[in-house]
Structure formats: structure tokens, C-alpha cells
Amino acid sequence: MGNRLNQRLEQVHNLQLKDLLIAREIHQGARYPSEIAEMLRIPRDMVSRSIERLLQAGTISREIDPHDSRRTILSINPEGEARRKEVQQTIQSTMEPIVGSLTPEELSTLIGFLRKMVEHAYQKEQKEKENA
């Protein structure tokens, strides 16, 4: 499922799924690459590569932090906002054949399981950090 979606995103938008996760964090207010890496728990170099793809795609903007010239501030630009909607359409059309046959109850159950898995992984990671 994820592989099919990732292929489709690359074909249509020249973006990867992880790029969209990073763009979502920026859209929700994350301003710094280090902040995104910490929030998503992914290596900073991976965040940097995704940021470069998003910049090349014209979906985000980067500027020097006026309070600390060593840092850059990221933001979604108007083109990125429009592109986000196009990407959502691609995701929906790609996933529809997969989840379209599920009843609302089955879909709700699936979403509940996925949320629980993510929460469990997060809690496990937090415990590991506390014990380190």
C-alpha cells in the first residue's frame, strides 16, 4: 500500500511520502529542520534531503532566522498550499481502490488500529529515551 502510494507520488509530483510528512509538519507550524527531525524522529540528513526536494518543487520557502543567522526558517508558500491540495487528490485516488471496499465501520476500525500502533511506537520510544 505505502509502496504503491510512494510510486504514484513520485510519478505525479516528484515527491516522496516522507516529503509530505515533512511538508505537513511545516504546514502545522514547524519552522526549523531540527524541530521537524525531532518531531518525526527521523535523521536530520533525511529531513534536509526532503527539504531540498520541497524547495525544488517550489512548495516551501526558506529564509534566514533574523534572531539567529545560523538557522533557517521554513514555511509553506502559496504554490505549496495549492500543491498540497493536488497531492491530497492523488493520495485519495490512489488509496480509494484499496480502502474503498471497506465499510465505514471497517475503515473506522482500521484507522483505530493504525492510531494505536503509532501511539504504542511513540510510547515505546519515549520509555527508551527515559531509560537511556
Q: What is the pLDDT of residue 56?
A: 92
Mean pLDDT, residues 113-130 taken together:
74
Non-local CB neighbours of 31 within 8 Å, separated by 6+ positions: 73, 74, 75
Residue ranges per structural domain of the chain: 2-101, 103-132
**pLDDT tens per residue across span 44-98:** 999 999 999 999 989 999 999 999 999 999 999 999 888 888 888 888 888 888 7
CATH 1.10.10.10 fits 2-101, yes or no: yes
Cell of 89: 487528490
pTM for the structure as a whole: 0.70
